[in-house]
Chain A
Amino acid sequence: MRWQVSGIPDGEIGEYRIHNCTESTGEDSWLNYVNYASVPSGDYTVLYRRFGNAYLNIMQDTDREYTEHDWLTQRMSGDILIGGLGIGMVHIPLLASDDVTSVTVVESEQAVIDLVWDHCAKDDRFTLVHDDIHTWTPPAGSSWDVGWFDTWLTHDDDGNGNLITSDDYKTMIESKYGSLITEIGGWNWS
């Protein structure tokens, strides 16, 4: 089972790149992921972040991703806050749910917005906020039924020589948004 993204054209802006690839084509990091996650044959939309000459896959519409979004799958109703646009993959089930009232997507990278937003699944229930989920100040009176946070990358660091772990990220998010959101979940949260 997967939410297959379609319609986002190949492109590269700044440090970000969209590539429509297959299980056997793409950058080394994607092919590594294909092997690690046992990705079956098919067409995939992959978002890369570039580091020098190396491209790192940071989002892809695979079966594994579907599974990793299981927490959100079970909570698609009401007002939803999404941290991170990515390839707009979770828009597909959110769009299909009549129980969803609104979807607020917060994305910090203008390049990702330019590559994805105009082409991803959405309707007038969806709103994009160009801001950093860590520093964004929600409008006064904001609240959500469900929050899904997926902006953490394994190499994120605190600027003092320490990596930010998934648990660190979870703690930061819960501290900042806990009073505004009824249920909070995120990618790779235990």
Chain B
Amino acid sequence: MLTTYGTCEDGTGGPNNASGGGGSAPALVSIATSASGNFDGAVIIGCDQDPTNGFLDVNSGSTFSNHPIAGITGTIGYTVGPNYSSAVIASNGLLTYTVFGYIRVGLNPATSFQWDVTFQNDSDSNNAWTAIATNGSPSTAQDRTSNDVGEDIKVVHSSGGRGYNLPAPFGNSFIEFDVDADATNPNGTTSASTVKVTLESN
């Protein structure tokens, strides 16, 4: 998680605001798939080794929803088949999942931005993965709809002796990670609600 100081999501109050001469920190900050319109509270997921969505489901952000308790969550599927296998072989076992999004600010414009991607959890009944981790440097740009947010999720598959081991299909493998974003102005920093992403086998 990013260090949060100043105001919360409602964008009022905070230490900088208290001493800053009456301004307010950014408010109504959210992670979206574009600057306006659908989908707010969502991201788009890509895979560097699958530019034509041969195994990762085509996704637009439409699968994300906001639950009172779970928060913003969304699931995107991947199909463990020949396309997945070919991508793993061609990349020597490594798949890189990327995140695309936009940091919206509804009130009190921000002057700087910060993205953060954090790996949370994984499960695979085939034990195909030897390592999953966040990698890269997080972007400080508001608009990361064309280029990814800088940090990504790298998944290393084990080479089991007759080829790379592949994750279990049919919902029996998944990877979870969080996407966070901050918006800052001289009066404080506001964090968007975390977008929780699950990649799950079809």
Q: Which residues of A contact B (CB under 8 A)?
A: 28-30, 32-33, 35-37, 51-52, 54, 56-60, 62, 64-65, 68, 152-155, 157, 161-163, 187-188
Does B202 sit within 8 A of A, measured CB to CB? no
User: B68 — which chain A residues lie within 8 A by C-beta?
Assistant: none
Stretch at the interface among B10-18, B156-164, B174-182: B156-164
Does B73 sit within 8 A of A, measured CB to CB? no
B163 touches A163 (CB 8 A): no
User: A56 — which chain B residues lie within 8 A by C-beta?
Assistant: 89, 159, 163-164
Nearest-CB residue, chain B, relative to A34: B159
The answer for the CA separation of A59 and B163 in the assembled complex, in Å, is 9
A-B interface contact total, Cβ < 8 Å: 80
Q: Which residues of B contact A (CB under 8 A)?
A: 80-82, 85-86, 89-93, 130, 156-166
Q: Identify whether the interface residues of A are mostly helix, strand, loop, or mixed.
A: mixed
User: A54 — which chain B residues lie within 8 A by C-beta?
Assistant: 89-92
User: A29 — which chain B residues lie within 8 A by C-beta?
Assistant: 92-93, 159, 164
B86 touches A60 (CB 8 A): no
User: B82 — which chain A residues lie within 8 A by C-beta?
Assistant: 155, 157, 161-163
Say how far B10's CB is from chain A's closest CB, in angstroms: 48
Pick the residue among B92, B130, B163 that contacts A155 (CB under 8 A): B163
- The listed residue with most A CB atoms (<10 A of its CB), out of B80, B82, B86, B161, is B161
A154 touches B163 (CB 8 A): yes
A154 touches B130 (CB 8 A): no
Say how far A155's CB is from chain B's closest CB, in angstroms: 4
B92 touches A154 (CB 8 A): no
The answer for the CA separation of A29 and B75 in the assembled complex, in Å, is 30
B159 touches A155 (CB 8 A): no
A60 touches B161 (CB 8 A): yes
Pick the residue among B81, B91, B160 that contacts A36 (CB under 8 A): B160
Question: What 9 A-B pairs have minimum CB-CB distances, sorted nearest first?
Answer: A154-B163, A28-B92, A32-B159, A33-B159, A155-B85, A36-B158, A157-B82, A153-B163, A29-B159
B161 touches A161 (CB 8 A): no
User: B89 — which chain A residues lie within 8 A by C-beta?
Assistant: 51, 54, 56, 155
Given A32-B92, A36-B130: A161 in contact with B81 (beta carbons within 8 A): yes
The answer for the CA separation of A55 and B166 in the assembled complex, in Å, is 17
Would you list 29 pairs from A and B whose C-beta atoms are within 8 A, ordered by A residue?
A29-B159, A29-B164, A30-B159, A32-B156, A32-B157, A36-B159, A51-B86, A51-B89, A54-B92, A56-B159, A56-B164, A57-B159, A58-B161, A58-B162, A58-B163, A64-B161, A154-B85, A154-B164, A154-B166, A155-B85, A155-B164, A155-B166, A161-B81, A162-B81, A163-B81, A163-B82, A163-B85, A163-B166, A187-B162
